């Protein structure tokens, strides 16, 4: 086992925490989240379930590369919405720009390219 394995586990758990809470909020209230994001509740439910599934994949390291790619797609959609629909800048108003989304994409990219490390169910 290498020091990278502990770093990969920490990275997977931090990313999962963010997507797990977001996915859970979306699954609990797809109508409210849909209104907030300008998307239909059924699509928001799909996004919420995908976030939960991606989080589980990262937490346990099961198909972690695929989970990371899926979460990157979700974040690409969020970035697209912020840039082209809401016209939000990189930092945005009150710090709610797309810089955070891009950070999550980059974190997931690391897992997608390097893998989940040895501290996973399917390394």
Domain extents for the chain?
Answer: 3-114
> How distant, in Å, are the alpha carbons of 31, 33, 84, 87 from that of 27?
9, 9, 26, 27
> Is the alpha carbon torsion for 87, 49, 68, 116 positive or negative?
positive
What is the average pLDDT across 33-55? 97
pTM of the model: 0.94
State the pLDDT confidence band at 115, using cuts at 50, 70 and 90: very high
CA distance 74 to 97: 16
CA distance 116 to 110: 9
What is the average pLDDT across 25-41? 96
| Owner of token pair 């409210």 | 32
Portion of the chain with pLDDT greater than 70, in percent: 99
Q: In this predicted structure, what is the pLDDT of residue 64?
A: 97
For the chain, the C-alpha Rg in angstroms (whole number) is: 15
How high does pLDDT run on average in the chain? 95
Helix (H) or strand (E) holding 30: helix 30-37
Q: In this predicted structure, what is the pLDDT of residue 122?
A: 83
Q: Are 68 and 120 in contact (CB under 8 A)?
A: no
Q: In this predicted structure, what is the pLDDT of residue 95?
A: 77
Q: In this predicted structure, what is the pLDDT of residue 93?
A: 83
Q: Are 88 and 97 in contact (CB under 8 A)?
A: yes
CA distance 10 to 92: 28
Q: In this predicted structure, what is the pLDDT of residue 7?
A: 96
Check whether 123 has a pLDDT greater than 80: no
């Amino acid at each position: 086992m290498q020091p990278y394995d502990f770093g990969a586990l920490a990275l997977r758990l931090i990313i999962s925490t963010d997507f797990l809470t977001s996915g859970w909020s979306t699954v609990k209230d797809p109508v409210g989240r849909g209104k907030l994001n300008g998307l239909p509740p059924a699509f928001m439910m799909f996004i919420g379930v995908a976030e939960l599934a991606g989080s589980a994949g990262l937490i346990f390291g099961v198909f972690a590369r695929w989970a990371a790619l899926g979460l990157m797609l979700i974040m690409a959609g969020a970035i697209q919405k912020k840039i082209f629909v809401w016209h939000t800048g990189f930092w945005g108003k009150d710090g709610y720009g797309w810089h955070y989304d891009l950070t999550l994409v980059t974190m997931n990219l690391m897992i997608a390219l390097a893998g989940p490390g040895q501290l996973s169910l399917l390394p």
